[in-house]
Structure 1
Amino acid sequence: MQYIVIYLHGFLSSPQSHKAMQTLEFVKSHYPQLTLEIPSLGNYPKQAAATIEQIIAKYPDKKLRFIGSSLGGFLATSMCEKYAGKAVLINPAVRPFELLEGFLGEHVNPYTKETFLLEQKHIAELKALDTPLENINSQYWLLLQTADETLDYRQAEHKYQGHKMEIEQGGDHSFQNFERFLPDIFRFLLQD
């Protein structure tokens, strides 16, 4: 198949997250020939971006497609703008460098149990990855829930205006009942 789909998890998450596993199971059942990558993104922005770039480099002849959740949505946007891709963004972080200012210090990833220290230099790495939407060949579909307790959905609504959006009242940051969108997500991603 001509596509590569890369699922990007959020901050303090992993490829074992609920949405990542739902996506993997859906692809196994409905698109067994599709190349799906669900990388374990490092805890630091520059490290996470390098991991994504390494995956992209492995597939020079495939069309890039992304599913990004929260901070993964921010990273997916950065890559889409750089490489002219298509992405579905689930409650994406728009200005994570502001949000994570309040998270400086030591953290433990609940999935990997890895301890890491978030410092000011990592905020600067995030700012360096912030990308305006200027690539006319990039396409986005946003899935937003208004009761997201972590991010203000209106930031994404504003940044991605003009792109396809599904804004649901209520919900939460995890995007409740995500799996019901999987058939439409892949129909969107796997068309030109």
Structure 2
Amino acid sequence: MPTTHLLYLHGFRSSPQSFKAQQMADYVAAHHPSVHWWCPQLPPSPREAAQLLLAGTADWPRATTAVMGSSLGGFYASWFAQQRRCPSVLLNPAVFPARDLARYIGEQTAWHDPAEHFFFQPEFIDELQALDTHGLPAAAPELAFIAKGDEVLDWREMVARYPTAQIALQEGGEHALSDFARHIPRISAFLALP
């Protein structure tokens, strides 16, 4: 089935202004203008983020929805894919965010606007654990782009987390996937963008 509705989820401290989100939005607008695109600003609370995503996609057609996510957005994308039974594209996805983000409890700055601050609350760790779909079989096809050179997340954990996914494993690279543009045609084909 072609994807008619595409959700993009940014990472921790990131925003819809992220490099990859902008590139994907521009590509969809230029080459697949009939696709409904949504890249919301996610609240710091994982529980509130999940509620926002379910409410914002409540009227989307189940059979032709897909989700993409980068880093923490990849973790959310896996959760969303389980809820909607839809295909997912994961870009250096966070695998154990409850473990990894515990050291970020406290005041944080937004990556794209350092003047913008938010507080990462201790209870957000429990909220992340509540959204963890680790161990569940994939709800639908998955495509994961994983860089061995990721300086933030362990590529081995990412590969192990998605045993049935199509995996595009990069030698080198980095967490930001600065060569993201070259992967977009494969993503387009995987999602059957009309």
* TM-score of the pair, normalised by structure 1: 0.93
Shift of 1:127: 0.4
Going from structure 1 to structure 2, the CA distance change for 1:144 and 1:106 (only over 3 Å counts) comes to same
Q: Give RMSD over aligned pairs.
A: 1.7
Kept in 2, the 8 Å contact 1:46–1:125? The answer is: yes
Deviation readout 1:133-152 (Å, 9 max, x if unpaired):
53554111000001111110
- List gaps (5 residues or longer) in structure 2: none
Matched residue SS, 1:7: strand
Using the alignment, how far apart are the partners of 1:25 and 1:129 within structure 2? 30
Deviation readout 1:84-136 (Å, 9 max, x if unpaired):
11011000001000000111111111325432211220000000000135355
Return 150-159 or 125-134, whichever deviates more: 125-134
Using the alignment, how far apart are the partners of 1:117 and 1:16 within structure 2? 20
Alignment of 1:89-168 (within 5 A): 89-112=90-113, 113-132=115-134, 134-135=136-137, 137-168=139-170
Going from structure 1 to structure 2, the CA distance change for 1:159 and 1:35 (only over 3 Å counts) comes to same
Using the alignment, how far apart are the partners of 1:32 and 1:118 within structure 2? 36
Kept in 2, the 8 Å contact 1:149–1:172? The answer is: yes
Kept in 2, the 8 Å contact 1:81–1:133? The answer is: no
Partner of 2:21: 20
Going from structure 1 to structure 2, the CA distance change for 1:89 and 1:156 (only over 3 Å counts) comes to same
Q: Does 1:42 align with 2:76?
A: no
Using the alignment, how far apart are the partners of 1:138 and 1:79 within structure 2? 11
Alignment of 1:179-190 (within 5 A): 179-190=181-192
- List gaps (5 residues or longer) in structure 1: none
Percent of matched pairs sharing the same residue: 34
Q: Does 1:63 align with 2:93?
A: no
Q: Does 1:169 align with 2:171?
A: yes
Paired residue total: 191
